[in-house]
Amino acid sequence: MARFLNKNLTYTGEEQYQPKPREKDKDTGEILYPYIPVSEGLVKAVNLSINLNRPLLLEGEPGCGKTRLARAVAYEFSKCYGEQYNVEKWPYADWNIKSSDQARDGLYIYDAVRRLFDVQLFTVEHQLNNNQLPDKEQLPQDTSLGNPLEKNNIRQRLEDPKHEAYIQWGALGKAFQASQKGQRMIVLIDEIDKADTDFPNDLLLELEEKRFFIKETGREIRAEPDFAPIIFITSNGQRKLPDAFLRRCLYHYIKFPQKRS
């Protein structure tokens, strides 16, 4: 995929960039619907967010289009800039917040259980090679010790200093890594007010400095400033968000279109 330029990315919401009737998403098969911005102010807020590399916090009544905006921007960029950057579909990821979510879930999830299992297999293999009978408690139920290829795979996973095999990347984690390849991924953090009250503040470092640490390895993942993710955050206003979090975001309230008289 080509590197994206930080400049000249502009959202318009114009009709020429809307999905055709009955058009479907090529990945999900879902029907795509047009998204017409309700105001020029919303379009300006989106472009200001893109140019300033600051998240755009969107509030409004349910059904006003908060959630659909991020995907609409990604669709327009696919149509408008896809040929220029040799991409059929603009990179996009969403994070639908649940009440049990922690801030780290949007960055990465570390599979410590799988790594422990691999360590046990590796230990058993070492003991067998040295004619040491392992304790029954040490034997995993499915050892796979008879498969040379699997033994080599286990060794490679354990020797990888980045622990890639044990990490599942979240939406922000994917976006930060995409930026290192020169790609400005669009990320939606949906209904942030569903999470715990401390949740927004736990994302301050990631939102402001565009970096985070993988504590299991000490590795830092840092987004390239010129290719920072384009982040949309939605809230239904069920809970007041912390002031420190609000200061790091641009804000726009989406109103329902008024009926014509």
The beta strand positions in the chain, using DSSP E, are: 56-59, 92-96, 108-110, 167-169, 186-190, 211-214, 219-222, 230-235, 250-253
Backbone φ and ψ for 127, nearest 5 degrees, come out as -65, -40
Buried-exposed string 31-56: b where 16+ CB fall within 10 A, e elsewhere: ebeebebbeeebbebbbebbeebbbb
In one-letter notation, the amino acid at residue 136 is: K
Identify the band that residue 122 occupies on the pLDDT scale cut at 50, 70 and 90. confident
| Structure token pair of residue 56 | 């755009």
What is the rounded average pLDDT of the residues 229-234?
98
Q: In what order do the strands lie in the sheet with 250-253?
A: 92-96, 186-190, 230-235, 56-59, 250-253
pLDDT of residue 150: 74
Q: How far apart are CA 113 and CA 120, in angstroms?
A: 11
Identify the band that residue 218 occupies on the pLDDT scale cut at 50, 70 and 90. very high
pLDDT of residue 136: 46
What the chain holds in terms of domains, given with CATH numbers, is 15-103+172-253 (3.40.50.300), 110-165 (no CATH)
pLDDT of residue 261: 42
237: left (phi over 0), alpha (psi -120 to 50) or beta: left
Q: What are 141-162's pLDDT values in tens digits?
A: 555 555 666 778 888 888 888 9
What is the rounded average pLDDT of the residues 111-118?
91
Judge contact between 214 and 221, C-beta under 8 A: yes
Residue (of 208, 118, 185) closest to 158 by Cα position: 118
Q: What are 173-215's pLDDT values in tens digits?
A: 999 999 999 999 999 999 999 999 999 999 999 999 999 999 9
pLDDT of residue 84: 87
Residue (of 175, 155, 177) closest to 165 by Cα position: 155
- Compute CA 91 distance to the chain's CA centroid, rounded to the nearest angstrom: 10
The yes-or-no verdict on residue 50 having pLDDT over 60 is: yes
Backbone φ and ψ for 210, nearest 5 degrees, come out as 55, 50
Distance between the two ends of the chain, CA-based, in angstroms?
Answer: 49
pTM: 0.85
